[in-house]
Structure 1
């Protein structure tokens, strides 16, 4: 976590000359983060090096969110050629650890997170690419591309594609909103340790169905969400927005699609990138996926899974493969 060579000059050009640069835990991408400290003020330096990363979507979406009153980081400076961005420091207090350590706050924190999604639904989707059928298929296929080979399964790809195609109509109809796509407990910050939830990691946002971010939050790959809490929060969202039965179907279709995608991504992070801890998160993802597959609307997809991936092959791919 050595700061990029251009960091000092970039910070000086943006009014932070001589500041200390301290590493901050990163994410599953090529991006790195540093806390810039100058006396009693601090900011975050994002290092998103080209060509692997492009910080422009993050900057554009952050500004779109801020203009509409959402707590996204304000951008204080950017060098797009070097992939450097200076932004607000929301601190280190995340929803995840707070809900884990202070169970009495869990419900209130999730209510606040749900209410942000209600507010997001009130706005027309931003100028974003569509979350269309081709994207849904491409993401779902990460499971057959990475997970299945890792555990020694030669999956029926044509049947997989056909099964998903039979259920995607449910999520391609209805309202389009800005879908942040990684809206979960580790990307929701309690700004300054307070009660306001700050938004992070939204650079991959698309215009799609509002149920997707609910799935990200309530079927969290990094934290066990009790099914009772999931149900209460889903009911809260539907009560406020007036969403009905069609929304329930979309929620479970997108739940299955997202969890299949994540099982593939986490396997890729282990196999390709050497990030071993992600494989161990897959059993939780499979539990969510199997719950979604039990919904009648997912019958074609469940049939494929039952025929192609036996129950004892659903879990930690590193353990299953004996590696």
Structure 2
């Protein structure tokens, strides 16, 4: 097998098991890990640890497939454990359902040399050889699977440098971006979160020679998270304390704020919690925020503005992605011109309105409820790296029209009332101006989300976002009911942008 080679010393069985965890965290459907080594080299120990990590079950029975030839496990990534030692011919691998296994999951293959030519070229070879009293693991390969494995091993080195080298790693959560999160546990210490935030891939130019991510001011590195985190902590917002960081590689070891959902046990909104989050926003919007923040000695992050270009490129996702899905053809030039005209006229109304630090995705997936705490500390806030300087109304709209859960008009009203009351209690507050800005930002955000959720399905192969579209259309209708948005509402109605569609 050609390609890059990585080596890791394994002093004992514990180190072998940790390598299994590291590889488990990198595994995706379609991957093949070829485990090569003599009898007693540790292949089974490695495979067992990998499967248990995927199952998040340290006591899972993982028998050797020596006699069954293949054992399958319905884990986070379905994994199929092949032992080819008893194959009399390499062609017999087809009879074991090898290709079918890769359609739905990943494969661990012991004794891969028995079917070398039948394994994909993208397989990652993990060779275990004797090295003194321990083993040397030599990984080789090329392509995405090898790159992910290499990054996972780099994360283990990061943990070692932070004094957490023996920590157990388990998948926590991923999101719509390339970021992912793990829970890491070490005896005698509180669990922490390991954040994997690779540098943003900007993508192709979409307007004026600039990529979407640049125009929309998406965070390009983990430096943005570190800077915003510092600023929020300094103002009394409960965001994760960062225990260790590697800004170049995009790794953070942070405080674990808890696992209790902001929603109730049935996944439904709790009005009191939304009101508490609105009051937290009111507190934040009463403070002054720096536009340039030091993330590390000599390393600064300039908080971008939520300017017209960013607002427009986001709103344009509706015509770029949503319109083709509902009509079966690209948006016409006339529709695009009219859409841009209506939105530019509406955004003119934001001139002179209150701007502040805007977290951008302030909604239930990014809020942790901590019922044992009091006041604002009850709310743990995560996913803050894309913060901008923008209209204060935006985050209130993000919360009160939560994209992931249906917020009734009554809870939306209660959330708004809690915010408005807190702002009035704190000093002079222009309620009418705020409510108009709220409607504009709610319409902009929900138009954007209609496009993003279709893009996630069409471009990124994530169809489960489409189930949210009826809710987003309902939110958009609510926002467009404000008198200031009458012209935009007429445009949406005339072009059938709010019609119910079968998915």
Which residues of 2 match residues 50-69 of structure 1 at below 5 A?
50-52=199-201, 54-69=221-236
* Among 121, 125, 142, the residue aligned to 2:285: 121
Corresponding position: 1:139 with 2:314: yes
Corresponding position: 1:213 with 2:395: yes
Taking structure 1 as reference, are residues 160 and 231 closer, same or farther at Cα in structure 2, changes over 3 Å only? Answer: same
Match of 1:229 in 2: 411
Unaligned runs of 5+ in 2: 1-23, 27-151, 202-219, 292-302, 424-428
Match of 1:81 in 2: 248
Structure 1 residue 87, shift from structure 2 partner? 0.9
Corresponding position: 1:243 with 2:430: yes
Corresponding position: 1:94 with 2:267: no
SS in 2 for 1:273: coil
- Higher deviation after alignment, 239-248 or 141-150: 239-248
Corresponding position: 1:271 with 2:450: no
Give the structure with the larger helix fraction. Answer: 1
Match of 1:46 in 2: 195
The 2-side partners of 1:98 and 1:59 are apart by 32
Compare CA radii of gyration and give the structure with the larger one: 2
Corresponding position: 1:12 with 2:199: no
TM-score between the two structures when normalised by the length of structure 2? 0.60
Unaligned runs of 5+ in 1: none
The 2-side partners of 1:310 and 1:147 are apart by 9
The 2-side partners of 1:223 and 1:77 are apart by 34
The 2-side partners of 1:97 and 1:315 are apart by 30
Which residues of 2 match residues 248-267 of structure 1 at below 5 A?
248-267=435-454
Match of 1:178 in 2: 357
- Which structure carries more relative contact order (alpha carbon 8 Å, separation 6+)? 1
TM-score between the two structures when normalised by the length of structure 1? 0.91
Taking structure 1 as reference, are residues 214 and 26 closer, same or farther at Cα in structure 2, changes over 3 Å only? Answer: same
The answer to whether the Cα contact below 8 Å between 2:359 and 2:388 also exists between their aligned partners in 1 is yes
Which residues of 2 match residues 104-115 of structure 1 at below 5 A?
106-115=270-279
The answer to whether the Cα contact below 8 Å between 1:94 and 1:187 also exists between their aligned partners in 2 is no
The 2-side partners of 1:80 and 1:149 are apart by 39
Q: For residues 186-240 of structure 1, give each alpha carbon's deviation from its aligned partner in whole angstroms, at most 9, with x where no partner exists.
A: 1110248756110111111111111100100000110111111111221221222
The 2-side partners of 1:110 and 1:169 are apart by 30
Taking structure 1 as reference, are residues 133 and 17 closer, same or farther at Cα in structure 2, changes over 3 Å only? Answer: same
Corresponding position: 1:26 with 2:26: no
Match of 1:294 in 2: 481
* Among 133, 141, 157, the residue aligned to 2:336: 157
Taking structure 1 as reference, are residues 315 and 119 closer, same or farther at Cα in structure 2, changes over 3 Å only? Answer: farther
SS in 1 for 2:438: helix
